[in-house]
Amino acid sequence: MSLQDYIGKFYADFYFRVNLLGVGLQMFAVSRIMKRVGIGPSLFLLPMVSLGGYTLLSFAPILTLIRDTKIAENGTDYSIQNTACHALFLRTSREAKYKGKTAIDSFFWRAGDALSALIVYAGTSLAFDLRDFARTNAILTGAWLCVAAGIVWHRLSQAELEG
């Protein structure tokens, strides 16, 4: 098998597993999770999956673990995280929904992509190995958990004011 065939098979298998997990979670878990724990706590699931995966990878950066971590992360992102993020806009006004969602979907996602590229550039310039990148991702995931906590706290504060 040529290197190109191996890479093609690896990616095909990877995306098959990501999509299988995403569809499985969407069909059998998302509605139950959202009903039982709510929107706010659902925002913590993907960062916790990421934190666990990157913490594990910082100790054992093995290709199989990297693949499995990314499958879990991407499958959770495409199902639970997307649903929870979109559900945040359900109780907003039409104007806030279209302005806020447009800003997030255009500027903030692209800013995150640019930051990711900057981190990869800085890491390769500093000769990071896989463990260093995993540690960096774990640290950034900690910041992500703080943002999720801020969103949940803000939603709870708003609910108390309204109710």
Taking the mean position of all CA atoms in its chain, how far away is CA 120? 17
Per-residue model confidence as pLDDT tens digits over 6-31: 999 999 999 999 999 999 999 999 99
Domain housing 59: 3-162
For the purposes of burial, counting CB atoms within 10 Å of the CB of 75, is it exposed (0-12), middle (13-18) or buried (19 or more)?
buried
Residue 19 to residue 79: CA distance in whole angstroms = 10
Residue 86 to residue 97: CA distance in whole angstroms = 10
Q: Are 45 and 81 in contact (CB under 8 A)?
A: yes
Per-residue model confidence as pLDDT tens digits over 98-107: 888 888 888 9
Q: What percent of the chain has pLDDT over 70?
A: 98
In this prediction the pTM is 0.89
Question: How many C-beta neighbours within 10 Å does residue 37 have?
Answer: 14
What tokens does 132 get?
Answer: 């260093």
Domain count, the chain: 1
Given a cut of 50, the residues of the chain with pLDDT beneath it are none
pLDDT value for 163: 60
